[in-house]
Amino acid sequence: MIVSAGIVFSLGVLHLVYTFWGPKLTPRDPALGARMAEVSPVISKETSMWRVWVGFNASHSMGLILFGLVFGYLAIAHPSTLFQSGFLLAVGLATLLGYLILAKLYWFRVPMAWIAIALASYVASIVAAWLQRSQT
């Protein structure tokens, strides 16, 4: 569980850094970036597509960081609470499965591979906890 949480947390921090520093999340075509800064989305003229892009990337990063912090903390400080809560385990599993589906459909191989590793580690930790509980 700690490995899974650490991977997700690290992806979130890296994504946050890429959101605000450097060219990693900017369009390869500078004209597209300029156009995104000029055009507003249908929902509101108070912002631009570029500002929405940055905001969504930042909030996505924050969600990954939150997942990593919460599940990492629970795994370290309160493992019995985490591993005995079907609700928490289901929420974590659904979140990681959702990220894996998004990665497959919309992202690229590197984040998809890391999310798959995080998901496999997550499931392995649940199986290990279940096996340990069944032996006692």
Selection from 4, 6, 12 nearest residue 129 by Cα: 4
Residue 113 has pLDDT above 80, yes or no: yes
Q: Which residue has the tokens 């496999």?
A: 120
Q: Which two tokens stand for residue 76?
A: 């370290």
- Helix, strand or coil for residue 46? coil
The model's pLDDT over 49-96, given as tens digits with 9 standing for 90+, comes to 999 999 999 999 999 999 999 999 999 999 999 999 999 999 999 999
Give the gyration radius of the chain's Cα atoms.
18
Helix (H) or strand (E) segment spanning residue 24: none
What is the number of domains present in the chain?
1
Domain span including residue 81: 2-135
